[in-house]
A and B are shown apart, each in its own frame.
Chain A
């Protein structure tokens, strides 16, 4: 029983101890720490503060944030195919359906059915895809137009992502006049945030109007992804952004994160703009590694006006996986310390989260709930937002 007494004694002592004593007190008690661990060399957090210039303003047009129309159908497909680690090209989702059913597809067999129709006969291609794919009516897509106004007043346009369904994206492009901008060569580049179906598979729609456009993808694209860029009829420059910071133009850069994402995708890039006199704006597709990770990375790496995290646009995940402490697993708490001045969220943010933002007094920009977007709480399809 002596052991038990020892334990009880120690337990009582620990419970009754005033904490925060510090190591000095311990020595007077005769406690010393012996540890096999050498003291780590603890790196000081050095903020690199890379100066990437500034711009006057940033305008974002939400071309489409409805990646898919029914979440249960999508999650059902993913679960049915074997879960979150299954390669997205195997799903037999459009446009790569080959008629064999869920989880039995492949890029090669799928593209073979439509390749000859890309990029100009998209209606026909999508029809074939619909006949051979799983739940084709569920496909939507994510795409946004970024308009940067440089310090000298010149305006430039970039396209962030190109959606999923050929039919839906073509309709959305036409609705926002993106088709004409592409055809007139007004758009500098197509930036793909990550290789996921709802951001990238609608590529032929962009190719149809501007096959020579520069495409920028993050490091980590798979062979199928590169092949699809070719098969979609791309004739222009292809650029791969490496992990870390990549300059786009003064006041605009991309940060690539080398993280695994569900359904065998690797790497995601978010876009950052430094708006003169205001601060940093982050524009992202999904933030699969968690918005908080992205923001802290940006804080560490970039220099921006007023040292102020000014605005945010896009889909917000706090973290793609379960935190062991549910207390921290809340975007509302996670974003609080950054003091953003303008938040435009949608896509995978989740409506309840958006509502919580509003309830917590965050500066959430309201939308108009048009074109199949579900709520005014956030920026829906066709809505715009200006930073600066």
Chain B
């Protein structure tokens, strides 16, 4: 039995206001479900109330913003329009029309997106599909029909020319102005929305069908007259789902008949298609996630915080806890310093779960202690995030190779290093550990910039860059940074690499959409440095990060290799430190491309 009240408990009469509130309710409830967020890559939403209500959402692996707005009641369905507003720099921008591309370059574009339904340009462009929703309280059934096309194509019959440079042609005559893979863009929202309904109502869909119809593409001429292009066929798709008992296709018949649509697979059963869909099984089927998350409980993410004494780590932790608490997220903290008076209840006016573990040191392993710490926390509850505050003593590089042992308990997110900008250049001369903290970071918070001149900031940033070309440097005052701003600055992180370091060769993670994966290659013998540099210079573009420890012929020390999109550096390790040598490649479609050996 479907329970629609679980989605929207108020009176429902099928009015425009009802459908608007119904959608709002599902979106908001969905945002309270941390499992759903992880399953579907859902990253956050904004509700715009005025002048016209609309919702914007963000999903993992997509740089742009998704928009949803109620449009009308039509044929007994509450209809919603779906949008994708690309980020001005993403590759997809070229698939949109030139006009949309130009709109996206506007300086306040992303601000306008927040209330896109009140902007005539934005609400007529960037459209990717629609969702029809039918809710029947009496029979406790729901029907959804997504309508989109495989590709939206628009041709410019007479071409498009630059207004500044005579004869500079942007689109050749008869060329494609727009070639947008709309269906692919509707998928993340569809995946999220269906999964949300399934999880909130504890009810799998009882009806599913795909239809396709012939669509036409459009060409416009220099006067703006549009005509259908019959020689360039396109495909329109209808994806229909029903929830509840006794749902039939009667509702959708008029729609698909009007479009002369055909059932795509006559024999497609609900089960065969839905086996892989997370919205089929409310028991948190994790098919879409990396294999490591197989247990029912979602693992907390682990953020490692390093930084020299007085850098502002305590401030960082306090702010982090505060921001997350406001969002009803639960933070656990592990400190490996005993007797430190930074974080106690009097200072942080927030209580949190705190576990202290014995001081680790450079030479001994922390991971046994860490594991105990994490277990102690997890016994009480499951935090959304665990912050591990390290001492200035533990060398983060050592920690790196130990973090992987926690893979079964936590998802490593990042190593965040807090740097006191006013002291950085001095500390760099005095303490090797300070340099190591910088080198191991995924994100560096350059703190206390309010106490520094522009020249000083520039100098320190240069120094940070010289020691870590891969990390994102973020300037902060009193370490005030929103946790989500941190998350947005991460791409393939050390944490991912760390978890691979001591594992067997060829471990793969497949991320949901973009086939991001990593491969570890062991290096049994020393490399020739010059050849290796040429090798790095000619790495294929789909590899955008490489990290590891290598030995070079005729060199006593080992080196840490850091490579990001064409830039690389070798950092000499202390001579007494010996690690196994290896490289970890992170990139797209690694399984499809041939990786040559660095030898």
Bound-state Cα–Cα, A289 to B152, Å: 37
Inter-subunit contact B52/A42 (CB<8 Å): yes
**Cross-interface CB contact of A259 among B25, B105, B152, B172, cutoff 8 Å:** B25
Q: Does A337 contact B (CB under 8 A)?
A: no
The docked-state distance in angstroms from the alpha carbon of A289 to that of B53 is 14
Given contacts A11-B93, A17-B102, A30-B158, contact A351 B124 (CB under 8 A): no
- Which of B28-36, B237-245, B556-564, B580-588 lies at the interface with chain A? B28-36
> In the assembled complex, which residues on chain A have CB atoms less than 8 Å from the CB atom of B380?
76, 80
A293 CA to B50 CA, complexed, in Å: 9
- Which residues 1-49 of B sit at the A interface, judged by CB distance below 8 A? 9-10, 21, 24-25, 28-29, 31-35, 43-47, 49
B449 on interface, CB distance cutoff 8 Å = no
A260, B29: Cβ atoms closer than 8 Å = yes
Contact yes or no, A328 B46, CB < 8 A: yes
Q: Which of A180-227 contact B (CB under 8 A)?
A: 219-220, 222
Closest to B31 in A: A321
Task: Please determine whether B102 and A34 come into contact, CB atoms closer than 8 angstroms.
Answer: no
The answer to whether the Cβ of B592 comes within 8 Å of any Cβ in the partner chain is no
A374 within 8 A of partner (CB) = yes
Cα–Cα distance between A226 and B399 once the two chains are bound (Å): 55
Q: Which residues of chain A (14-68) have a CB below 8 Å from chain B?
A: 14-15, 17, 19-21, 23, 25-40, 42-45
Q: How far is the CB of A80 from chain B (nearest CB, A)?
A: 5
Q: Which of B108-136 contact A (CB under 8 A)?
A: 110, 114, 117-118, 120-121, 123-125, 127
Q: Does B98 contact A (CB under 8 A)?
A: yes
Query: Contact check: which of B10, B34, B163, B483 meets A83 at CB < 8 Å?
Result: B34
Chain B min CB distance to A8 (Å): 9
Chain A neighbourhood of B99, CB < 8 A = 26, 31-33
Among residues 147 to 173 in chain B, which have CB atoms less than 8 Å away from a CB atom of chain A?
152, 154, 156, 158-163, 168, 170-172
Q: Which of A17, A76, A317, A375 contacts B326 (CB 8 A)?
A: A317
Bound together, the chains give a CA A78 to CA B329 distance in angstroms of 10
Bound together, the chains give a CA A262 to CA B29 distance in angstroms of 8
Q: With A262-B32, A353-B322 in contact, is A14–B44 under 8 Å at CB? A: no
* Bound Cα distance A272, B105 (Å): 41
Are B318 and A84 in contact, with the CB atoms below 8 A?
Answer: no
Instruction: Assess the B50–A79 pair: CB atoms within 8 A.
Output: no
Chain B residues with Cβ under 8 A from A293's Cβ?
Answer: 47, 49
Query: Interface residue tally of chain B, by bracket?
Result: 35 or more
Q: For residue B438, give the distance in angstroms from its CB to the closest CB of chain A.
A: 24
Rounded to whole Å, the gap between the CB of A201 and the closest CB of chain B is 19
Known contacts: A43-B51, A72-B352. The answer to whether A30 contacts B156 by CB under 8 A is: yes
A70 within 8 A of B: yes
Q: Are B123 and A329 in contact (CB under 8 A)?
A: no
Q: How many whole Å from B152's CB to the nearest CB in chain A? A: 8
Nearest chain-B residue to A354 (Cβ)? B349
The interface residues of chain A lying within 8 Å CB-to-CB of B88 are 14
Task: Give the residue name and chain of the B residue nearest to A263 (CB).
Answer: B32
Given known A-B contacts A17-B105, A79-B381, A259-B24, A29 and B162 have beta carbons under 8 A apart: yes
Given A19-B105, A21-B102, A42-B118, is A83 in contact with B482 using a C-beta cutoff of 8 Å? Answer: no
**Alpha-carbon distance A266/B24, docked complex (angstroms):** 12
Interface string of B311-326 (1 = CB under 8 A from A): 0000000110011011
Q: Is B350 within 8 A of A351, CB to CB?
A: yes
**Separation of A42 and B51 alpha carbons in the complex (Å):** 8
CB distance from B161 to the nearest CB of A (A): 6
A43 cross-chain contacts in B, Cβ below 8 A:
51-52
> Cβ of A32: which chain B residues have Cβ within 8 Å of it?
99, 156, 220, 224, 226
| A147 interface residue (CB < 8 Å to B) | no
Q: Contact check: which of B106, B120, B349 meets A375 at CB < 8 Å?
A: B349
| A11 and B353 within 8 A (CB) | no
Q: Report chain A residues within 8 Å CB of B573.
A: none
A45-B51, A220-B10, A353-B322 given; A20·B353 CB < 8 A: no
**Bound complex: CA A289 to CA B32 (Å):** 13
Q: Does A322 lie within 8 Å of B43, measured CB to CB?
A: yes
Q: A6-B175, A320-B327, A324-B45 are in contact. Are A83 and B33 (CB under 8 A)?
A: yes
Instruction: Please tell me which one of the listed residues B33, B44, B105 contacts residue A322 in the complex, with CB atoms under 8 A apart.
Output: B44
User: Inside 8 A of B118's CB, which chain A residues have their CB?
Assistant: 42
Q: How many A-B residue pairs have CB under 8 A?
A: 241
CB distance from B194 to the nearest CB of A (A): 17
Q: How far is the CB of A42 from chain B (nearest CB, A)?
A: 6
Task: State whether A323 touches B46 (Cβ < 8 A).
Answer: yes
Q: From residue A318, how far is it (CB to closest CB) to chain B in Å?
A: 7
Minimum C-beta distance from A228 to chain B (A) = 17
Residue A177 CB within 8 A of the other chain: no
Of A75, A222, A258, A326, chain B has the most CB atoms within 10 Å of the CB of: A75
CA distance A322 to B222 in the complex (A): 45
- Verify if B200 is at the interface (C-beta below 8 Å from A): yes
Judge whether B156 and A321 touch: CB under 8 Å: no
The answer to whether A28 touches B163 (Cβ under 8 A) is yes
> In the assembled complex, which residues on chain B have CB atoms less than 8 Å from the CB atom of A73?
351
Q: Do B32 and A14 touch (CB < 8 A)?
A: no
A33 CB to nearest B CB, Å: 5
**Which residue, of A29, A44, A243, has the highest number of chain B Cβ atoms within 10 A?**
A29
B435 CB–A CB distance under 8 Å: no
| B44 and A324 contacting across the interface, CB-CB below 8 Å | yes
Which of B33, B47, B159: most chain A CB closer than 10 A? Answer: B47
Q: Give complex CA distance A45, B170 in Å.
A: 39
- Does B488 lie at the interface of the complex (its beta carbon under 8 Å from any beta carbon of A)? yes
- Judge whether A85 is part of the interface by a CB distance below 8 angstroms: yes
Judged by a CB distance under 8 angstroms, whether B56 is at the interface is: yes
Provided the pairs A17-B102, A30-B159, A324-B58 are in contact, do residues A80 and B9 lie with their beta carbons within 8 angstroms? no
Could you say which residues of chain B place their CB within 8 Å of the CB of A260?
Answer: 9, 25, 28-29, 32
Are B351 and A25 in touch, CB under 8 angstroms? no
Contacts of A78 in B (CB 8 A): 328, 330
Interface residues of B in 72-108 (CB under 8 A from A): 81, 88, 93-94, 97-102, 104-107
Query: Is B383 a contact partner of A79 (Cβ separation < 8 A)?
Result: yes
Contacts of A259 in B (CB 8 A): 24-25, 28
A13 to B102, CA, bound (A): 9
Is B413 interfacial (CB 8 A cutoff)? no
How far, in Å, is A167 (CB) from chain B's closest CB?
21
Kindly provide the distance from the CB of A2 to the nearest chain B CB, expressed in whole angstroms: 10
Residues facing B in A300-331 (CB within 8 A) are 300, 317-330
User: Do A324 and B28 form a contact, CB below 8 Å, given A34-B226, A80-B381?
Assistant: no
User: Which of these, B94, B110, B124, contacts A33 with CB under 8 Å?
Assistant: B124
Contact across chains for A34 and B218 when beta carbons are under 8 A apart: yes
In the assembly, what is the distance between CA of A180 and CA of B518, in Å?
70
B405 CB-CB contact with A under 8 Å: no
Tell me, rounded to whole Å, the shortest Cβ–Cβ distance linking A292 to chain B: 9
Whole-angstrom CA separation of A69 from B93 in the bound complex: 51
**Max count, chain A CB within 10 A of own CB: residue among B69, B107, B120, B328:** B328
Does A104 lie at the interface of the complex (its beta carbon under 8 Å from any beta carbon of B)? no
Of A42, A77, A324, the contact of B43 (CB 8 Å cutoff): A324
In the bound complex, how far is the Cα of B31 from the Cα of A325, in angstroms?
15
Instruction: State whether A9 touches B28 (Cβ < 8 A).
Output: no
Return chain A residues, CB-CB under 8 Å to B97: 31, 33-34
- B-chain residues with CB within 8 Å of residue A11 when the two chains form the complex: 93-94
Cα A84 to Cα B330 with chains together (Å): 11
Asked if B266 is at the interface (CB within 8 A of a chain A CB), the reply is no
Q: Contact between B120 and A258 (Cβ–Cβ < 8 Å)?
A: no
**Between-chain CB contacts (< 8 Å), 28 pairs:** A14-B105, A17-B105, A19-B102, A19-B106, A31-B177, A37-B81, A40-B120, A42-B118, A44-B51, A72-B330, A72-B353, A77-B381, A84-B34, A222-B9, A243-B10, A260-B25, A319-B46, A319-B47, A321-B45, A322-B43, A322-B484, A324-B57, A324-B58, A326-B485, A350-B350, A351-B350, A353-B326, A374-B349
Closest 4 CB pairs of A and B: A324-B58, A322-B44, A326-B482, A45-B51
Inter-chain pairs besides A30-B156, A318-B326, A329-B484, 7 sampled, C-beta below 8 Å: A21-B163, A34-B226, A42-B118, A293-B47, A325-B44, A348-B326, A353-B326
